[in-house]
């Protein structure tokens, strides 16, 4: 793997104690432990107003949309851990993806960033399905709406309340190995695309 591969991990939640933030953080740790440069980001550190076309026409995208676009552009692969809200995507995640798509310059536009990065998806939930239903919507937004390349594999952590140990790792070692394999696949795909 060349040093050009760099993975970004973030969750579609900024809630204190978010299981999906824990999953994204774990992904970043697994990547680093396997020699893959990575960054964990909290999208709560990039607050943006609810997207409104009139606001965009008057003021353009908010400063944090530019900042988050630059963060995404600095990485070749992106893992998103998406909570499930009523069987769908969170408003925070959708709003972030929408605003980034509206950034035109400097550097690559938000639209170009989506089309030139590889994405992988995961979810964690207290329920038995692990939040998988949200990933259908996230995939639709990324692939159809934004033209992104999303790996077909995805990872879910059901019964997340009891899934993580004090060290942040998953109690179920087989599940953690499956997650590790997805991260390695994301890195390989990013290498092929940008190597």
Q: What is the pLDDT of residues 159-195, one digit of tens each?
A: 999 999 999 999 999 999 999 999 999 999 999 988 6
**Which pLDDT band, with edges at 50, 70 and 90, does 5 fall under?**
very high
> What pLDDT score does 194 carry?
81
Residues with Cβ within 8 Å of residue 132, at least 6 apart in sequence: 84, 123, 154, 156
CB within 8 Å of 122: residues ≥ 6 apart: 20, 23, 24, 27, 79, 80, 81, 82, 135, 154, 155, 156, 157, 179, 182
Q: Which residue did the predictor score with more confidence, 194 or 43?
A: 43
Per-residue pLDDT tens digits for 91-146: 999 999 999 999 998 889 999 999 999 999 999 999 888 889 999 999 999 999 99
DSSP 8-state assignment for residue 131: T
pLDDT of residue 168: 95
Digit-coded pLDDT (tens) for 72-87: 999 999 999 999 999 8
pLDDT confidence band for 11 (50 / 70 / 90): very high
Res 3: pLDDT: 62
Count Cβ atoms below 10 Å from residue 102 Cβ, excluding itself: 17
DSSP 52: -
| pLDDT in the model for residue 60 | 95
What per-residue confidence (pLDDT) applies to 137? Answer: 95
**pLDDT value of position 195:** 63
Higher local confidence (pLDDT), 70 or 129: 70
**Distance between CA atoms of 47 and 147, rounded to whole angstroms?**
24
């Amino acid at each position: 793997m060349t040093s050009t591969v760099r993975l970004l991990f973030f969750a579609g939640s900024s809630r204190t104690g978010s299981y999906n933030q824990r999953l994204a953080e774990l992904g970043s740790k697994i990547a680093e432990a396997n020699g893959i440069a990575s960054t964990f980001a909290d999208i709560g550190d990039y607050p943006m107003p609810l997207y409104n076309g009139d606001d965009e026409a008057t003021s353009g995208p908010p400063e944090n949309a530019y900042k988050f676009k630059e963060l995404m552009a600095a990485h070749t692969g992106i893992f998103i851990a998406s909570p499930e809200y009523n069987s769908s995507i969170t408003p925070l995640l959708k709003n972030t993806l929408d605003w980034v798509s509206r950034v035109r310059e400097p550097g690559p536009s938000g639209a170009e960033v989506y089309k030139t990065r590889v994405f992988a998806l995961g979810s964690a939930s207290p329920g038995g399905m692990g939040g998988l239903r949200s990933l259908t919507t996230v995939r639709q937004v990324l692939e159809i709406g934004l033209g992104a390349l999303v790996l077909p594999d995805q990872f879910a952590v059901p019964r997340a309340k009891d899934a993580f140990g004090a060290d942040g790792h998953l109690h179920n070692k087989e599940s953690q190995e499956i997650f590790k394999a997805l991260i390695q696949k994301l890195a390989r795909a990013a290498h092929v695309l940008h190597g």
